[in-house]
């Protein structure tokens, strides 16, 4: 993130400029049922053996009178998920992650070498269960992503080939289902979709 983006975020937090009120925030949320994607362990990227990735297309309206990153940060933070998509394949073995596309679009490979490629755009939200590989595969000059993590879990960043695969799978399996959906809160679809897959909560 550039110095200008950092300065803008500090100013927004101090003044509230560009940030929606709680009432305005509720009007920006669109009710969408997420699409689910399950990825198999490809021997290098473990992915998550029990939980699907959740893709919420066009879940958030991003009008020009609000800063899009501030909108997504406020949604995620309000649901207990606090904190770019790298151009190298990586994953987290001890925490789930949410990515909100605040501006632009990007082509992202999810699930490692045997996964799928999705073009994400402003207003889209992707929830990655622990272990899910993700990598931006095409340059995107105008891309702005807000990433966040639930309070359950511990941040780590792993790359294929640089870890004990079996130990990584054991850590992935032990990550609890979060108490809230990062977009829709405690009654959102995340808990329903992830607990119906037999994951521990």
pLDDT for 52-76, tens place per residue? 999 999 999 999 999 999 999 889 8
Instruction: Give the C-alpha separation, 166 to 46, whole Å.
Output: 9
Is the pLDDT assigned to residue 14 strictly greater than 60? no
**Residue 13: per-residue pLDDT:** 53
**Residue 143: per-residue pLDDT:** 86
Residue 64 in domain: yes
Give the number of domains in the chain. Answer: 1
What pTM was estimated for this model as a whole? 0.78
Instruction: Give the C-alpha separation, 180 to 123, whole Å.
Output: 19
Residue 191 in domain: no
Instruction: Give the C-alpha separation, 193 to 131, whole Å.
Output: 17
How many residues are recorded in the chain?
201
**Residue 10: per-residue pLDDT:** 53
Residue 22 in domain: yes
Measured in whole angstroms, the distance separating CA 31 from the mean position of its chain's CA atoms is 17
Tell me what the mean pLDDT of segment 16-39 comes to: 90
Is the pLDDT assigned to residue 159 strictly greater than 60? yes
| CA-closest candidate to residue 189, choices 26, 34, 73 | 34
Instruction: Measure Cα distances from 34 to 54, 81, 127, 183 in Å.
Output: 6, 18, 9, 11
Query: What confidence tens digit (pLDDT) does each residue in 164-194 have?
Result: 889 999 999 999 999 999 999 999 999 999 9
Tokens 């998550």 sit at which residue? 48
Query: What confidence tens digit (pLDDT) does each residue in 76-100 have?
Result: 888 888 665 667 778 888 999 999 9
**Residue 1: per-residue pLDDT:** 45
Residue 197 in domain: no
**Residue 175: per-residue pLDDT:** 95
Query: What confidence tens digit (pLDDT) does each residue in 120-148 have?
Result: 999 999 999 999 999 989 867 788 899 99
Is the pLDDT assigned to residue 49 strictly greater than 90? yes
Residue 195 in domain: no
Range of the domain at 115: 3-185
Residue 178 in domain: yes
Phi, psi angle pair for 36, to nearest 5°: -110, 145
- Higher pLDDT: 19 or 108? It is 108
Q: Say how many C-beta atoms besides its own lie within 10 A of residue 182's C-beta.
A: 29
Residue 196 in domain: no
Tell me what the mean pLDDT of segment 30-35 comes to: 96
- Domain at 177, CATH number: 2.60.120
């Amino acid at each position: 993130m550039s110095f200008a983006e950092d300065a803008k975020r500090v100013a927004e937090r101090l003044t509230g400029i560009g940030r929606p009120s709680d009432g305005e925030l509720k009007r920006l949320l669109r009710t969408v049922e997420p699409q689910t994607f399950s990825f198999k362990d490809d021997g290098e990227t473990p992915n998550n053996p029990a939980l699907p990735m959740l893709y919420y297309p066009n879940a958030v309206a991003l009008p020009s009178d609000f800063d899009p990153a501030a909108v997504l940060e406020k949604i995620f933070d309000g649901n207990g998920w606090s904190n770019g998509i790298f151009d190298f394949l990586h994953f987290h073995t001890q925490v789930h992650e949410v990515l909100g596309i605040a501006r632009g679009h990007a082509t992202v490979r999810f699930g490692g070498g045997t996964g799928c490629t999705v073009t994400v755009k402003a207003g889209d939200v992707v929830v990655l269960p622990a272990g899910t590989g993700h990598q931006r595969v095409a340059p995107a000059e105008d891309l702005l992503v807000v990433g966040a993590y639930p309070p359950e879990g511990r941040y780590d960043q792993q790359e294929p080939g640089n870890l004990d695969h079996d130990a990584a799978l054991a850590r992935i399996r032990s990550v609890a289902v979060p108490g809230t959906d990062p977009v829709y809160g405690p009654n959102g679809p995340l808990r329903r979709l992830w607990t119906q897959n037999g994951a521990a909560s």
